[in-house]
Structures are given as C-alpha cells and as structure tokens.
Amino acid sequence: MDFALHSPATQPLLDVIFSNKRLQNPDEFFFQTIAFNPHIRAPGACLYTSMPSELSMGYPARYVIWSQQMSFCPTKYVRWVCILGSPHVPELRRTFHLFANKMHADYYPEAYDCMEQWYFTRLQREWKIGHVDWEAFQPWAYRFLTCSRYHLD
C-alpha cells in the first residue's frame, strides 16, 4: 500500500485518476492499472498477460453474478449485476473468491451481518489454531494463474 500511495511511479496516475470526477470507481481502476503494468514496478505486479482460459473465468478474486452469464439471481439485478442477499450466503461461504460484488446495505441487510459474523468466527478459529483455516481458504484457485506464477517480488 505504501508503494501504491507514495511511489513517484504512481503519483502521475493518482493525479489523473482522482482529478477526474466522472470516473465512477477510481480505486478499482488504479489498482488494476498498477497490477497489470510491470514497468511501474509495483510489488506483486503481473509480468505477463493472463491466459485466455483465465480471462473466461472472470476476475477470480471477486464473486459476482452478471446478467449476461445467464446465472440464476434470486434477488435482483442493478445495472446487470446481481445484488447479493440472504439467498447467496451459503454459496458465499463456500466459494474460493476473496470479495463479493455487490451488496446493498438496505437490501437484505441480514446477509451482510451473516457474512460478517462468519468472517469473524473464521478469524477467531485461525487465531486459536495458529494458522490459516485451509477449509475456508482454497489456494488451488490461484496457485496456477499466470499472475500467481509470474509476478514481481
């Protein structure tokens, strides 16, 4: 994070991105840009373009249901994205994704509460056992991705 915010290599990008008030998700744009441009030299940046088979699986760290995927969304879509709620909680607990997109605080608020409780229970368990809970975290989903194998240290 220190590199992202304070490196001379990222400052021009930060200035441009955050000066554009019409850019809806400047943080997402910024971090993706430094992650996939190795000449910026951000720690962990990908050295090679992802394989086409990896691109078809979407961004593996983010759980999202798009309307174009013809996936079942028992709640509702907003701008082609399924708004996650209580019906999704069992799947969210099982998935290998690190983040979920998208929840609204005023729509199925109990879903967020359930996920927060599950998360803190997991952290407490890991604290007690002294290591990562391998039942909850599934590194196989990331191990062989191009960026996992070929990145800057």
Over residues 14-25, the pLDDT tens digits come to 999 888 888 877
pLDDT of residue 84: 97
Residue 131 has pLDDT above 80, yes or no: yes
pLDDT of residue 37: 92
Q: Report residue 45's pLDDT band, with 50, 70 and 90 as the boundaries.
A: very high
pLDDT tens for 63-120 read: 899 888 777 899 999 999 999 999 999 999 988 888 899 999 899 999 999 999 999 9
pLDDT of residue 113: 94
Average of per-residue pLDDT values in the chain? 88
pLDDT of residue 104: 93
DSSP 62: E
The Cα–Cα gap between 8 and 153 comes to 18
pLDDT of residue 56: 58
Backbone angles phi, psi at 121, to 5 degrees: -65, -40
Residue 125 has pLDDT above 80, yes or no: yes
pLDDT of residue 57: 61
Start-to-end CA distance of the chain, whole Å, equals 14
More confident site: 32 or 128: 128
- CB contact set of 16 (below 8 Å; sequence gap of 6+): none
Q: What is the pTM of this model?
A: 0.69
pLDDT of residue 73: 94
